[in-house]
Chains A and B, each alone.
Chain A
Amino acid sequence: MSLLQHFLESLESLTANKLRSALTILGIVIGVASVISMLAIGQGATAAVNQQIQSIGSNLLFVSSGGFGQGGGGAVAPKPLTLQDAQALVDPANAPDVSAAVGVVNSRGTISINGTSTSASVVGTTADYATVRNLNLQEGQFITTSDVSGNSAVVVLGSGVATTLFGETTGLVGQEVKINNQPFRIEGVLQSVGGGSLGSQDNQVIVPLTTAQQRLENRGSSSTRIDQIIVQASSADGVTAAQEEVTNILRTRHNTRIGTDDFNILNQQQILSTATSVTGTLTLLLGGIGAISLVVGGIGIMNIMLVSVTERTREIGLRKALGAHKSDIWLQFLLESSILSLVGGLIGVAVAAGVSKVIANIAAASSTAINPVIGLNSVLLACLFSAAVGVFFGIYPANQASSLEPVEALRYE
């Protein structure tokens, strides 16, 4: 008998039990759909997290005060970071791999106009911050060096803050807002950069560093303490070298011995790789859960095929009496289970596409931009896997069927 003929016969006996075949296929559909959509969501989440981390800027080092770094237990009273520390890091001789370093003072404040108010993070910093953090202006200009040296009461609004207060992001330059009840003139508005779990970059306002230190934080005019220095390395390859150079310069300036650093350097690459390994584990976990349901679907196929063998014992006996070889019977049953799993796999891919779309919409609605990615490789993987499941769980019933003795099978009631 030709393969085509076997295929048609298998199809015929599957369509004879439509409901049963459909339910069996459903098991595989759920399995394949969950594998693919879980992998897609995992990949989408990885991409989203990576993109968020990249949007902070590139090749960055975050220096903060405190001794809880490597072996920092010895630093009893860490010296605070100062703007002078930040300026010292931009040193072509001692730190050739550092291209920029900006000091940052972080706080939260209430931004208000005529009764409308919103809470936002207030970043006090210097002119280079825009370049280091990849910020682009919608209109106006960024904080300038003279704003910093002159303690100017000027502010650059994040687009989220601008929208909340004014309902728009243009035509705002020159207007006045109050930060913690002190008047500031709007100097510029930032373009939206989106943002998510790491804190929205749109919901911030930026003021000159000195202004933040002296007017908003009441640290006194003598205080030069800053919370963080953001260092940009000149290239991706130079990040490690830059980290060395920054460490050496700060050790010298703070007079600390090796092993008792009173500062802490976080590498953007480290953040990225940590996040990647977390989301990678998550993807694997989700895919694993999907795979379990695929195996359960496969067991469903095996179950139904075994029932079918028992039910069709007399048919098998008849076919053998009429001249069917063992391999004919074997192939017919194996084809039936393979068709079930293959059809289930194909439908599963379609369902996964739908599920991913729904999840993308849900994620978009809750403003966490996850874009599930259905890769060709995950589709192929799931289809191959489901076909393998069909063959694997079909072999045992097929063996059972083909090894029936014609005499016994014909007599079976």
Chain B
Amino acid sequence: MSDSEYVIEAENLTKVYQMGEMEVQALRGVSFKIKRGEIVSIMGPSGSGKSTLMNILGCLDVPTSGNYTLDGESVENLSDDELSDIRNQKVGFVFQSFQLLPRTTALNNVILPLRYASGDHYRQKALAALEAVGLQDRVDHRPNELSGGQQQRVAIARAMVTQPAIIMADEPTGNLDSKSGAEIMNLLLELNKKSGTTLIIVTHSPEVAAQTQRVIHVRDGLLVEE
């Protein structure tokens, strides 16, 4: 972990997609910084470049130009495998549709990112993470034996088990009813408080955004100041 005050430093990010003969500019020069431990939400209508920004921040994609530094490491000219390693070590993902492996237990789902890392004590780490999200008595259940809220808890446990620098949550409450949605938000905020992990939430919901410390609005590939 770097000593810098900022966990994310984005400088003039652009992203151009080639759609057949047409060039689509998804990002047109975006610059911002996010402090360590901060809770930030990213909002914007569909087609605004919000997803593109999220993919770049999560190292799922690389910018066409500009500099992106995550946790002190510059994410440029990295190979696919190096990007994989950075995602594995520094980013925890929480998806709208949970994205759990259906064939295997909650415990094994949480262990999965540890398997792609070097290290040991998979089981203990995964059990601790499941306990932190309040699922200690559901570790051997498969996803289809869990409620939506519980599945998202497993996903959160999976995101934090590697102790990443940031957690990227993409519409984490989008597939949940309002009660379990609120529970998931509380859980995320509580984990931020406990572990100090930077939390970035991509959302459509003003209620969710209202619970974060800062809101970044994206429109037409540009930032609209908060």
The range of chain A's interface size is 20 to 34
Interface SS of A by simple majority = helix
> B87 and A323: CB pair below 8 A?
yes
> B81 and A12: CB pair below 8 A?
no
A209–chain B nearest beta-carbon distance, Å: 84
Is A364 on the interface with B (CB-CB < 8 A)?
no
Please, which residues of chain B bring their CB within 8 A of the CB of A16? Answer: 103
CB-CB under 8 A for A326 and B81, given A13-B103, A410-B95: yes
The stretch of B113-121, B175-183, B207-215 in contact with A is B113-121
Please, which residues of chain A bring their CB within 8 A of the CB of B61? Answer: 407
Is A175 on the interface with B (CB-CB < 8 A)?
no
Provide the A294-337 mask, 1 if CB < 8 A to any CB of B, else 0. 00000000000000000000110011111111111000000000
Provide the A322-366 mask, 1 if CB < 8 A to any CB of B, else 0. 111111100000000000000000000000000000000000000
A327 to B84, CA, bound (A): 11
A311–chain B nearest beta-carbon distance, Å: 11
A314 to B85, CA, bound (A): 19
Please, which residues of chain A bring their CB within 8 A of the CB of B104? Answer: 12
A328 to B60, CA, bound (A): 17
> A318 and B89: CB pair below 8 A?
no
CB-CB under 8 A for A323 and B117, given A315-B101, A410-B95: yes
Number of interface residues of B (CB under 8 A): 23
CB-CB under 8 A for A410 and B99, given A321-B60, A321-B93, A325-B81: yes
> A322 and B87: CB pair below 8 A?
yes
CB-based nearest B residue for A411 = B51
Is B173 on the interface with A (CB-CB < 8 A)?
no
Is B55 on the interface with A (CB-CB < 8 A)?
yes
A410 to B93, CA, bound (A): 12
Is B146 on the interface with A (CB-CB < 8 A)?
no
Is A103 on the interface with B (CB-CB < 8 A)?
no
A325 to B87, CA, bound (A): 11
> B60 and A322: CB pair below 8 A?
no
Provide the B109-133 mask, 1 if CB < 8 A to any CB of A, else 0. 0001101110000000000000000
Provide the A132-161 mask, 1 if CB < 8 A to any CB of B, else 0. 000000000000000000000000000000
Is B140 on the interface with A (CB-CB < 8 A)?
no
Please, which residues of chain B bring their CB within 8 A of the CB of A1? Answer: 115-116
Is A406 on the interface with B (CB-CB < 8 A)?
yes
A5 to B112, CA, bound (A): 11
CB-CB under 8 A for A325 and B99, given A5-B115, A12-B104, A407-B61: no
Please, which residues of chain A bring their CB within 8 A of the CB of B89? Answer: 323
A327 to B81, CA, bound (A): 9
> B103 and A322: CB pair below 8 A?
no
> B101 and A318: CB pair below 8 A?
yes
Known contacts A315-B101, A326-B81, A407-B61; 19 additional CB pairs below 8 A are A5-B115, A12-B103, A13-B103, A16-B103, A318-B101, A319-B112, A320-B84, A322-B87, A322-B88, A322-B93, A322-B112, A323-B117, A325-B84, A325-B85, A327-B81, A328-B116, A407-B55, A410-B95, A410-B99
Q: Which residues of A contact B (CB under 8 A)?
A: 1, 5, 12-13, 16, 314-315, 318-328, 406-407, 410
Sampled A-B contacts (17; CB under 8 Å)? A1-B115, A1-B116, A12-B103, A12-B104, A314-B99, A319-B112, A320-B87, A322-B87, A322-B93, A322-B112, A322-B116, A322-B158, A323-B88, A323-B89, A323-B113, A326-B80, A328-B116
